[in-house]
């Protein structure tokens, strides 16, 4: 029996969520270690083995303990590596908890460039409040911030979103571009800037966190699943200097919203900060290799990226869902079919770097598929 014969894919799961189904759910425990998950948009080098061992050693105590009821303790641990005022931080059970609360409690109408992370379009209080700004295929789905600002003003919208680097496009806006936009949008009630991938944007981070106090309507959102490689711990945070917004968001968060394992992980951020930055810089180098090699393959258009993932347009005639199936069944590689993202067509996949060795498997597979379709 071949590996393919052993692979049973629960295909119905692809149609039951706007996100990529968990690899564990679609192939099962027996096969999961045989497949490389390129949907996994996270740092593959952190936490390192030593930190994982510490978590394992403390697990018996942690799972028998209540989390802290005082969020300021964890905020202080996080602020030690972010170098910002801990009182400006709210930690969530993943960034999605905070995204949901902010959209339901603080936003009346919302300018959203699409394609985007689907939680921003799905968790709005009323769908008519989502004002979608469609990025154009002929411009490679690039967001022009000045044109976006003009559109917001023309439509009298009171809140806006920017994901920087963009998801799924990978587009990176410079810090100066972001400041120009924020300066022109001071009249808005809120500007959410999602920086979940900013740690992969360069060795020096073009983050807005150091200037958070300059913009009272700014809320920066980050998912630690991505840059810290811990999606299972469900950690995310938002940062704002607006005391009214802080109070409103905090009042909607339940006590014990993060678990003790996540809390312990936060205590380890400062001691491992140097190792973390080595890890994220390795990811940046890996993505450069992945992007450069993918660009050499005919039949695929590779969008420029400032993140740890690459958006790819398929130009060799196969639809994204068929390419996803082919890669999974024949090559044991799991990629993100982006067909269900508002604003994209059926010919885009997204792949996140999993380290140079694993990335080489994907590069070789797409080269083989390209060759096959050239012959067809």
Specify whether 222 is located in the same domain as 165: yes
What's the pTM value of the predicted model, to 2 decimals? 0.93
Q: In what order do the strands lie in the sheet with 110-114?
A: 89-93, 235-239, 218-223, 190-194, 159-163, 110-114, 130-134
The total of structural domains in the chain comes to 2
For range 317-342, the mean pLDDT: 94
Domain boundary among 245, 269, 293: 269
Domain CATH number, residue 88: 3.40.640.10
**Maximum Cα–Cα distance across the chain:** 65
Specify whether 185 is located in the same domain as 206: yes
Q: State the pLDDT confidence band at 356, using cuts at 50, 70 and 90.
A: very high
Specify whether 287 is located in the same domain as 203: no
Specify whether 240 is located in the same domain as 309: no
Q: Which residues constitute the domain of residue 237? A: 49-269
350 burial via Cβ count (<10 Å: 0-12, 13-18, 19+): buried
Other CB atoms within a 10 A radius of the CB of residue 213 amount to: 13
Specify whether 34 is located in the same domain as 99: no
Residue 2 has pLDDT above 60, yes or no: no
Specify whether 301 is located in the same domain as 314: yes
Specify whether 80 is located in the same domain as 210: yes
pLDDT for the residue 27: 77
Specify whether 260 is located in the same domain as 279: no
Domain boundary among 225, 252, 269: 269
- The per-residue pLDDT for range 106-116, each reduced to its tens digit, is 999 999 999 99
Residue 324 has pLDDT above 80, yes or no: yes
Domain boundary among 228, 251, 269: 269
Specify whether 185 is located in the same domain as 286: no
For range 246-274, the mean pLDDT: 97
- The per-residue pLDDT for range 25-81, each reduced to its tens digit, is 777 777 788 899 999 888 999 999 999 999 999 999 999 999 999 999 999 999 999
Specify whether 21 is located in the same domain as 167: no
- CA–CA dist 120, 113 (Å, integer): 10
Residue 19 has pLDDT above 80, yes or no: no
Domain CATH number, residue 354: 3.90.1150.10
Specify whether 253 is located in the same domain as 329: no
Specify whether 227 is located in the same domain as 135: yes
């Amino acid at each position: 029996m071949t590996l393919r014969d052993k692979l049973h894919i629960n295909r119905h799961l692809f149609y039951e969520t706007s996100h990529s189904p968990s690899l564990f759910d679609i192939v099962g425990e027996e096969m999961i270690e045989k497949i490389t998950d390129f949907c996994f948009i996270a740092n593959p080098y952190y936490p390192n083995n030593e930190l994982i061992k510490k978590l394992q050693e403390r697990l018996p105590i942690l799972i028998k303990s209540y989390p802290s009821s005082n969020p300021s303790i964890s905020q202080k641990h996080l602020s030690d590596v972010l170098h910002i005022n801990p009182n400006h931080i709210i930690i969530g059970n993943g960034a999605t908890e905070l995204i949901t609360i902010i959209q339901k409690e603080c936003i009346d109408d919302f300018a959203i460039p699409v394609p985007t992370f689907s939680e921003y379009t799905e968790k709005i209080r009323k769908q008519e409040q989502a004002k979608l700004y469609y990025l154009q295929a002929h411009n490679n789905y690039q967001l022009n911030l000045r044109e976006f600002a003009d559109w917001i003003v023309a439509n009298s919208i009171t809140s806006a979103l920017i994901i920087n680097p963009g998801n799924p496009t990978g587009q990176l806006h410079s810090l100066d571009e972001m400041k120009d936009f924020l300066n022109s949008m001071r009249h808005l009630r809120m500007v959410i800037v999602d920086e979940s991938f900013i740690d992969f944007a360069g060795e020096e981070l073009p983050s807005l966190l150091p200037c958070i106090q300059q913009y009272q309507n700014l809320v920066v959102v980050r998912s630690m699943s991505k840059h810290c490689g811990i999606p299972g711990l469900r950690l995310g945070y938002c940062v704002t200097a607006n005391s009214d917004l802080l109070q409103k968001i905090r009042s909607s968060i339940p006590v014990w919203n993060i678990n003790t394992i996540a809390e312990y992980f936060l205590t380890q951020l400062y001691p491992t900060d140097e190792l973390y930055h080595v890890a994220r810089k390795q990811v940046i180098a890996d993505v450069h290799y992945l992007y450069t090699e993918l660009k050499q393959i005919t039949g695929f258009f590779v969008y420029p990226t400032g993140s740890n993932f690459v958006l790819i347009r398929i130009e060799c005639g196969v639809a994204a869902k068929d390419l996803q199936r082919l890669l999974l069944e024949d090559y044991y590689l799991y990629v993100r079919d982006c067909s269900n993202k508002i604003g994209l067509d059926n010919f885009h996949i997204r792949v996140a770097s999993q380290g140079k060795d694993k990335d080489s498997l994907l590069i070789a597979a797409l080269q083989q598929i390209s060759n096959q379709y050239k012959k067809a």
